[in-house]
Amino acid sequence: MSHHSVALTFIPPITLPCFILQLSFSLLLHCELVHIHPFNMRWTKSAKRKLSFPIITAIICTLTFIFLLYTEMISTISSGSILRFKPCPKRNSADDRELESDQLDNPTDDSLDFDPDECSVTHGKWVFNTSVKPLYSDRTCPYIDKQYSCIKNGRNDSDYRYWEWQPDNCMLPRFDPEIALRKLRGKRLMFVGDSLQRNQWESFVCLIESVIPQGKKSMRRGRVHSVFKAKEYDATIEFYWAPFLVESNTDIPIKSDPNQRIIKVDSIAQRAKHWLGADILVFNTYVWWMSGLKTKALWGEFENGEEGYEELDTTVSYRVALRTWANWIDSTVDPKKTRVFFTTTSPSHQKNKEWGNINGIRCYNETRPVMKKGFWGTGSNKEMMNVVASVMGRMKVPVTVLNITQLSEYRIDAHTSIYGELQGKLLTAEQRADPLHFADCIHWCLPGVPDTWNQLLIAYL
């Protein structure tokens, strides 16, 4: 009888079924060689003479081990492993080799798991995770306004920076500055809207600027139009101040008294001409409309000073203004060249009783998100959101909605509160001691919630 040896080699789990069949055949063949009949298991006299008990034990143990390993793998797969069975491969095709090469080159490309048509980003939960550090801080990024620099302004707790949004039925890819810059190569990304849109713009700039070498980036700040440039990528990330999107008498200079504000609900051209040529436009408008049940709306130019306005229900003025914006988009924007986004309501958190903190003072001193599923406060007006949905439903140019409202509703802990500014000046000690009147429960600390909005934006891109 000739002697056979079995070499131990690494067997990839995905080919294990094939390996078991092959090894079983080899062992059966080995049994024939030593005169063990594979079916009736009767031993011949020569087998009794030539096959020792240790060899029999080794064969049985080997088959048992393989069976247990295979069973464990089946259990792993059924519990949600990414492994899948493949038929026993005779050889790898060119397509298979190319796919395997791509997988090796991009082993952690989370974007492959995100499908915006199937993933509902509005349904999910905030998960605390200190293992992943923020990409920047208000001390390392030089472009954050004092208004959003909470830690620098004296906020002691920092847990609000470590909450991650996890959708229920999919995985949201992390914000990767390199991937974001590659997507923006040769493009203009412009955020248009109010101070919350500036909040998001500064977040985006800070998320990418740390990977750009000094000398290859620049910032030009203006009262209306600001531009950050990533020179190596020939990309700009811009912000344009237009709190109502349409024109008003309070864009510059700002009128702090809402009763003095008049909105030119049918005029947008003087603002919109600066948006031409952008490859990606991200709009928002909401919070400036919410100063009362009525707004002063004006048609045409200010020919008679600021006379001739009408007081309309806020939702009526909002609808007329959004139609003016939508008509400009439909008549001016080429969807083959420009991608249009609209960021939904950023909620304010003014009424602490809504989330059950009876002894609290608005959003002041809150350190954790609301954990109640589907929490919705009065800071997000559903009637106004319905106006947005109604107007966009009639547009010819497709608009991608960044639905940030529900996920932001939970984040009562992440506002600037008493660690921000009032009319361009940091709060005094006396003002900080009076959060009932001076806590800012509208804007967000950076880093913070707007980083998640930008995470969504890049995922959609």
Per-position pLDDT tens, the chain of length 461 = 444 433 434 344 444 444 444 444 444 444 443 443 433 434 434 444 444 655 665 666 566 555 554 444 434 433 333 333 333 333 333 333 333 333 333 334 444 457 777 788 889 999 999 998 999 999 999 999 999 999 999 999 999 999 999 999 888 999 999 999 999 999 999 999 999 999 999 999 999 999 999 999 999 999 999 999 999 999 999 999 999 999 999 988 999 899 899 999 999 999 999 999 999 999 999 999 998 899 999 987 655 556 778 999 999 999 999 999 999 999 999 999 999 999 999 999 999 999 999 999 999 999 999 999 999 999 999 999 999 999 999 999 999 999 999 999 999 999 999 999 988 899 999 999 999 999 999 999 999 999 999 999 999 99
Contacts of 72 (CB under 8 A, 6+ apart): none
Which residues on adjacent β-strands are paired with residue 415? 444
User: Into how many domains does the chain fold?
Assistant: 1
Q: Three-state SS for 432?
A: helix
Pairing state between β 280-283 and 188-193: parallel
CB 235 within 8 A of CB 229: yes
Residues 44 and 54: their CA atoms lie apart, in Å, by: 18
Q: Establish if 315 belongs to a structural domain.
A: yes
Its pTM stands at 0.75
Q: Establish if 167 belongs to a structural domain.
A: yes
Give me the domain span that covers residue 412.
Answer: 124-301+311-460
For residue 268, give the CATH number of its domain. 3.40.50.1110
Q: Establish if 57 belongs to a structural domain.
A: no
Q: Establish if 15 belongs to a structural domain.
A: no
Q: Establish if 47 belongs to a structural domain.
A: no
Q: Kindly give the residue spans of alpha helices, DSSP state H, lying in 3-86.
A: 16-33, 45-50, 53-78
Q: Establish if 113 belongs to a structural domain.
A: no
Q: Establish if 216 belongs to a structural domain.
A: yes
Contacts of 123 (CB under 8 A, 6+ apart): 167, 168, 169, 406
Q: Establish if 70 belongs to a structural domain.
A: no
Catalytic residue numbers?
A: 195, 440, 443
Pairing state between β 163-167 and 188-193: unpaired
Residues 73 and 353: their CA atoms lie apart, in Å, by: 51
